Amino acid sequence: MIFAYIDVFKGAGLLIYPLGLCSLAVVFIISERAFALRRPAVMPQDMVDAVVAGRPVTGGRHSVLGRIVEFADEHRNDPDAVKAFARLEVNRMERGIPYLDVVYAAAPLIGLTGTVGGLLRVFANISPDTGLPDPVAFTQGVALALSATIIGLSIAIPALVGSGWLQRRVENYAAQLDVLLERILQRGRP
């Protein structure tokens, strides 16, 4: 069974290296963003409660909401600057997610390139005497050639799902921050 998987990777040829790089990028970005977008790292509940209640905000200065509150305290008379800073914080939360879009578009194309290259090798082995390929070698060659596409798709699908999940998470946080931002700005007004 394990040899079948090794053959699949061998069938991808040299393109296994960019596919492997794509795979590592997907795992890293999804893991890093999932960790960075935890609720306590973005909007700790005690800070949310304090902002909603209009109480002084303490703690959580390393969270997204904490940085926005701190910036708002320093720039009480400039609500446009506070809103711009909040947009920058949302943009920071999206860091890395667009690369997942690149991977889920590129990985299947890299796999397809490997498949086409593998099929070219298979068809190049057609006997000039009979004009027919060796049936066993032909079917094995086609199967190996298709392995690059399988690998590309198996990388692209998690990248697509991860990108959608992370983007939706950022959008939810952005909507919640918009509501909280109004409360923060009201707090700074006389």
Region 111-130: mean pLDDT is: 80
Residue 166 vs residues 30, 92, 172, 178: alpha-carbon distances, Å? 8, 13, 10, 18
Nearest to 43 by CA among 59, 64, 61: 64
Identify the three-state secondary structure at position 76.
coil
Report how far Cα 86 is from the mean position of its chain's Cα atoms: 22
Lookup: tokens for 30: 């999804």
Per-residue pLDDT at 190: 47
Average pLDDT over residues 106-119: 88
Which secondary-structure segment (H or E) carries 105? Answer: helix 97-124
Write down the pLDDT at residue 14: 80
Report pLDDT for 189.
54
Highest mean pLDDT (candidates 62-71, 110-119, 169-178): 169-178
CA–CA separation, 30 vs 26, rounded Å? 6
Structure tokens at 72: 């708002």
Mean pLDDT of 70-86: 91
Q: What is the pLDDT of residue 142?
A: 78
Q: What is the pTM of this model?
A: 0.82
Q: Is residue 63's pLDDT more than 70?
A: yes
Structure confidence at residue 1 (pLDDT): 56
Instruction: Return mean pLDDT, the chain.
Output: 87
pLDDT at 12 over 80: no
Contact 184, 81 (CB under 8 A): no
Distance between CA atoms of residues 72 and 47, nearest Å: 14
Contacts from 73-80 at CB under 8 Å and sequence distance 24+? 73/188, 76/188, 77/188, 79/185, 79/188
Confidence (pLDDT) at 155: 95
Residue 153: the pLDDT is 93
The predicted-structure confidence for 161-181, as pLDDT tens digits, reads as follows 999 999 999 999 999 999 999
Q: What mean pLDDT do residues 105-116 have? A: 90
